[in-house]
Chain A
Amino acid sequence: MKKLEGRSPGQLMWIRFKRDRTGVVSAYVVAFFFLVGLLAPLISKLYGKDPYTVYADERPELFDSAGVPLQPNGGISSQFWFGLEPGNGYDVFTKLLYGIRTSLMISVCVTIATVLTGILLGVAAGYLGGKPDYFISRVIDFLLAFPAQLFFIASMPVVVSLFVSPTDETPTYVRVVALIAVQWFLGWMSLARILRGTSLALREREFIEAARVSGASPWRIISREILPNVVTPILVQSTYMLPGFVTAEAGLSYLGVGIVEPTPDWGQMFSKASTELVMSNDITYMFFPGVSMIIFIVAFNLLGDSVRDAFDPKTAR
């Protein structure tokens, strides 16, 4: 006979998640992308190329006079697995690997920053109530009225100019920091609002009251009683937020205000793909960033749905 065992909510969630085949498959796909990003230097070392070599100069025999690869299908060959980029002739395979690496790194940083801010301000507003709540809620309302995308593109040069003078070349890390900062600034409100609502409801529950009566400090109540109860919305919300940050960051680089050449970036590949050179000649190049991003976003959204279902089996899709 099987022994009866108590299961924690986390274990229950894990068991339900493992049963969801779509969720498991999409988790593998998402993990694959993160692994690719993480191991990009190693993979390109084994592959023997890097995303910075300008093959238009190194191997001019591979390109026509306009800079389009001569071989069909974007110059795909046993040597260049994903072909060569029209124009400068970067190796597309390593460029995509490193591009995914840059994009995911930025988006993970934005997610961590927004989640921390969301927890801090949301739980503080919900638990403390009164003046802090009023103040934080008004700030949230105000920031939600900001035209987000417009604010991003408008403030990118300003934030960059905080670090470097306009006459100097902008180092890549400054652009990365600026991208993280502007997305964080307008990214934390939705999570904070959800957490405020949750902690507002939790505050009235008996176990919180019991903790308060037994003399627990507010800090202890927040960290030991409230935080474990808001893990679910945090996890679900951040799986929805991360793909949003990936596409927003790519959009900024596409518009030319994010990461610029020669630093490889997912979004910057889209801006390359939308040049007339690519559109009017061989469009193979377009599909590598495009299709890989669709796969990533679809997988991440499916994963988000599965995580939500696993935590809360009552919600029907």
Chain B
Amino acid sequence: MLRFLVRRFLGAIVILFLLSIVTFLLFFGMPRDPGLLMCGKTCNPTSLANIHHVLGLDKPITTQYWIFLKNLVMGSNGFAQGPCPAPCFGYSYHTNDQVWATLIDRLPTTISLTLGGAFFFLLIGLGTGLLAAWKRGTLIDKTATAGAMVLSSMQIYFLGPLALALLVYQTHLFDKPAYNNFTANPVSWFSGLIIPWVVLSTIFAAQYTRMARSAMIEQLQEEHVRTAKAKGMSRRYVFFRYAWRGSLIPIVTIFGIDLGALLGGAIITEYTFSLPGLGNLAVQAVFFSDLPLLLGVMIFSATMILLFNIIVDACYAFIDPRVRLA
């Protein structure tokens, strides 16, 4: 297990390293100059040269990348805005805040949105999927399958504004979604996030319903399950102890991928509900051409995806004892 983790972590670091090179080249090495983006419409050569010098863009790209990497690992005191302890992603072009501090500041929103949403969509999605598989062929199954089909084809950018319009703007049943600190006031934390959670989990739950149902039906046709039934075990025992365990593998795989992606920023959800999370931060960074911030969000997001890939693979060993990690 330890060897597996060490190997995977080393692999992840290599991928992150390559990813940072590609992203860095993409943003800083393009023929178009990021200084020009910042400089705006009223640009003259002096102000442009000044921006270049302040941002270090007048150095060759390899030197720039080396400085970026060195700052990331060792921190830096070379910034005009002040010291920047490791991991240093530099300072935002737009707000002049430390990028790492901004990321940490936005993280609780994204974590709250992700974990709350995941709780709802796992509960509803898997519950409905299991029910549909248990009652296979009945009206309940058909309703659940058709409903999941339609709901999983919905998009957050339709369902989100619709929910906002119906529940907030038209009827004033709820307050506008917002992030309030959990430790300060758990009730307002909950009420501020309930609409985003419901919208997010509706779409995800539908996907999990379909997945859980088809995985269960596949498992129930397996030979060991049939043997267990033939031995005279109760339907419920076979269903939950045999088939359910077997169908966990695909579900855990997808859940890990989803969780990693959401923790890296549920961009459209956060944008729709104006939640100050990492996804919304990325959108803002794009609008202001805030390259250091964008690079920071990108690398953070990729780290989340890779981390959860490793966690998922490690989980296989617990779910399925036949899996050996080497």
Q: Give Cα distance in the complex from A270 to B155, angstroms.
A: 10
Consensus secondary structure, chain B interface: helix
Given the known interface contacts A150-B267, A283-B165, the answer about A161 and B30 at a Cβ–Cβ threshold of 8 Å is yes
Interface size on B, residues (CB 8 A): 56
Question: Is A297 touching B153 in the complex (CB atoms < 8 A)?
Answer: yes
| B101 CB → nearest A CB, Å | 20
Q: Are A293 and B169 in contact (CB under 8 A)?
A: no
CA separation between A286 and B169, bound complex, in Å? Answer: 14
How extensive is the interface on chain A, given as a class?
35 or more
By a CB distance below 8 angstroms, the chain A residues around B234 are: none
Q: Is the CB of A153 within 8 A of B158?
A: no
Scoring B residues 155 to 171 as 1 if CB is less than 8 Å from chain A, else 0, what string do you get?
A: 10110111011101110
Cα distance A276–B273 when bound, in Å? 12
Asked if residues B286 and A257 are in contact (CB atoms below 8 Å), the reply is: yes
Q: Is the CB of B153 within 8 A of A150?
A: no
Docked-complex contact B165 and A280, CB < 8 angstroms: yes
- Is A151's CB within 8 Å of the partner chain B? yes
Given A154-B286, A276-B169, A279-B165: A165 and B32 within 8 A (CB)?
yes
Q: How far is the CB of A196 from chain B (nearest CB, A)?
A: 19
Q: State which residues 243-282 of A face B: CB under 8 Å.
A: 243, 247, 250-251, 254-257, 267, 270-271, 273-274, 276, 278-280
Give the distance in Å from the alpha carbon of A155 to the alpha carbon of B26 in the complex: 8
Tell me, yes or no, whether B65 is within 8 Å of chain A by CB. no
Q: Which of B43, B166, B286, B302 contacts A157 (CB 8 A)?
A: B286
Q: How far is the CA of A283 from the CA of B170 in the complex (A)?
A: 9
Instruction: List, in ascending order, chain A residues with CB within 8 A of B27's CB.
Output: 154, 158
B36: which A residues are within 8 A, CB to CB? 165-167
B61 contacts the other chain (Cβ, under 8 Å)? no
Name the segment of B87-95, B104-112, B193-201, B293-301 touching the other chain: B293-301
A-contacting residues, B295-312, CB 8 Å: 297-298, 301-302, 304-306, 309
Q: Are A286 and B158 in contact (CB under 8 A)?
A: yes
B155 A250 Cβ-Cβ under 8 A:
yes
